[in-house]
Amino acid sequence: MKNYELITILKESESVDETVKTVEEIIKRYNGQVSNQETWGRKNLSYARQDINTGSYHLFQCKMPAESVKEVSRELKIQGGLLQFMIKAVA
């Protein structure tokens, strides 16, 4: 399994705690393990997305098989509480 960092921007209109739990469940569903989760707090977005100007930033450090990244990305795209996300492999 490889190490990855998942950075998410969550909608504040949704329940942030529930969305964080859902993201962790999605990672675990595809044989991943969340080793650390950090809340970076509320920040202004550089440009409005879906008429929203602020978001709650979160970092997930996790391990998962390389073939799981595509499936995790697919599920995160359809997740209602997320504005944006990025998954990056860590050396």
Separation of alpha carbons 86 and 25, rounded Å: 17
Domains of the chain (ranges; CATH) run: 2-90 (3.30.70.60)
Q: Are 76 and 9 spatial neighbours (Cβ–Cβ below 8 Å)? A: no
**pLDDT tens per residue, range 67-79:** 999 999 999 999 8
Q: Give the pLDDT of residue 51.
A: 85
Q: Residue 1: helix, strand or coil by DSSP?
A: coil
How many Cβ atoms from other residues are within 10 Å of residue 41's Cβ?
A: 9
User: Residue 33: its pLDDT value, please?
Assistant: 95
* Selected residue with higher pLDDT from 50 and 9: 9
Q: Give CA–CA dist 59/7, Å, rounded.
A: 5
* Best CA proximity match to 82, nearest among 6, 5, 2, 4: 6
pLDDT digits (tens, 9 = 90+) for 13-69: 778 889 999 999 999 999 999 999 999 999 998 888 888 899 999 999 999 999 999
